[in-house]
Amino acid sequence: MKNKRTWSLIVAGLVFALVVALDLVTKELIFKNLVPNKGDNAKVIPGFIDFVHVENDGGPWGIFSGSTIGLVILSVIILVLMLVFYALRLRQTKEKSSMWLACSVGLIAGGCIGNMVDRIALGFVRDFLNFQFMDFPAFNFADVGICVGVVVFIIYFLFFYSKEDKNKKKDEKIKKIDKKEGENE
């Protein structure tokens, strides 16, 4: 890969599009065909997973219930901060941009947009995945994108962020040495 920055943008965009499409398409299909009414339940794998019709007008686990406008504003703020960080990091690292960061940005942004579409259009988020083997609230693919994206973001910070900075400093030293050698000739 000659220019990792270009590939990073492509990867982030593709992951983003995949998460948004998967989330919105599955919601439409599940809610129109399998669980059309609030409270409906369709067994997928008995004892393991069901599709349920849940209208969540709050955040994760129903916190901030009834705060649709506040949650949209919070989502926009988080999305903007994430994209600004990503843009600045791409600028800093030049051609050494991490695919871990690209994937995390695509996952988190895709999840934010998937749920934001529901909040703005419907006033609530449609959740339908329900694991029966554990006590966990219903969720959707946007939620999965956000959660996986946050984990990938943490991995990026723990294992790759400082390496990118070290590589950048190393490259800057090499350029200074090359420049000095060129001036001395």
User: Which structure tokens are listed for 58?
Assistant: 């709050």
Which one of the listed residues 118, 135, 143, 171 is annotated catalytic?
143
AA letter at 68? T
Burial call 6-42: b when 16+ CB within 10 Å, e when fewer = eebbebbeebbeebbebbbebbeebbeebbeeeeeee
Whether 143 sits among the annotated catalytic residues: the reply is: yes
- Asked if 27 and 128 count as a contact pair (C-beta separation under 8 A), the reply is yes
Query: Residue 139 carries which DSSP code?
Result: B
AA letter at 167? N
Which one of the listed residues 23, 50, 118, 127 is annotated catalytic?
127
Whether 127 sits among the annotated catalytic residues: the reply is: yes
Catalytic amino acids? 127, 143
